[in-house]
């Protein structure tokens, strides 16, 4: 599925739609350059899950947990991870194979421990289409 957006609000709405339709146990990966809209998208997902507290990038921790939505939301940012042992220390498999929703930014850095079935989301700019244009590609969603 490809969704093109032309404003932060549209990216938020698309994330919200993803969150509204998310199913327990799903693992989403989110890839895209700095400033492309990963946080905007994630805030939409959280809103779609009914989460009421503010959601930001977990800069100083690998994971931020939100429990106020219709199911637990585990937001990972593994950008600063040193090695996979750090994931083992936080007990990542309880999250990846639990009944909440995982969303993992910079998931390419932990490729070897990702579950077999993930939903991959990539956000890209294309300046020829305008400063606020984003192309959001989603693969692996259930039919």
> Which residues sit at the interface with Mg ion, rule CB under 5 A?
38-39, 57
Cβ(136)–Cβ(43) under 8 Å? no
Binding residue for ligand ADP, selected from 36, 51, 55, 62, defined by CB under 6 A: 36
| 39 binding ligand ADP? (CB under 6 A) | yes
* Structure tokens, 22: 């998310």
Cβ(69)–Cβ(50) under 8 Å? yes
When the beta carbons of 70 and 135 are compared against ligand ADP, the nearer one is 135
Q: What is the size of the binding site for ligand ADP (CB under 6 A)?
A: 17
Tell me which stretch binds ligand ADP (CB under 6 A): 8-16, 45-53, 58-66, 74-82. 8-16
Q: Which helix (H) or strand (E) holds 41?
A: helix 38-48
98 makes contact, choosing from ligand ADP, Mg ion, none, with CB < 5 to 8 Å by partner type, with none
Shortest gap between Cβ of 60 and Mg ion (angstroms)? 13
2 makes contact, choosing from Mg ion, ligand ADP, none, with CB < 5 to 8 Å by partner type, with none
- Could you tell me the CA-to-CA distances from 17 to 47, 64, 84, 142 in Å, in that order? 9, 21, 32, 14
Q: What span, in angstroms and rounded, lies between the C-alpha atoms of 108 and 96?
A: 15
Q: Give the residue nearest to ligand ADP (CB).
A: 37
- Which among 43, 48, 94, 91 is positioned nearest to 70, based on CA atoms? 48
- Which among 2, 1, 9 is positioned nearest to 41, based on CA atoms? 9
Residues that bind ligand ADP (CB under 6 A): 5-8, 10-11, 32, 34-40, 57, 132, 134
């Amino acid at each position: 599925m490809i969704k093109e957006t032309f404003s932060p609000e549209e990216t938020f709405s698309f994330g919200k739609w993803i969150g509204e339709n998310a199913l327990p146990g799903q693992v989403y990966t989110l890839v895209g350059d700095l400033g492309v809209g990963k946080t905007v998208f994630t805030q939409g997902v959280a809103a779609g899950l009914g989460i009421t507290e503010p959601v930001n990038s977990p800069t100083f921790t690998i994971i931020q947990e939100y429990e106020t939505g219709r199911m637990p939301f585990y937001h990972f940012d593994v950008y600063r991870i040193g090695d996979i042992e750090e994931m083992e220390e936080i007990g990542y498999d309880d999250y990846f194979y639990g009944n909440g929703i995982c969303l993992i930014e910079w998931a390419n850095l932990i490729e070897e421990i990702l579950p077999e079935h993930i939903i991959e989301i990539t956000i890209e700019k294309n300046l020829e289409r305008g400063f606020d244009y984003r192309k959001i590609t989603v693969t692996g969603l259930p039919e």
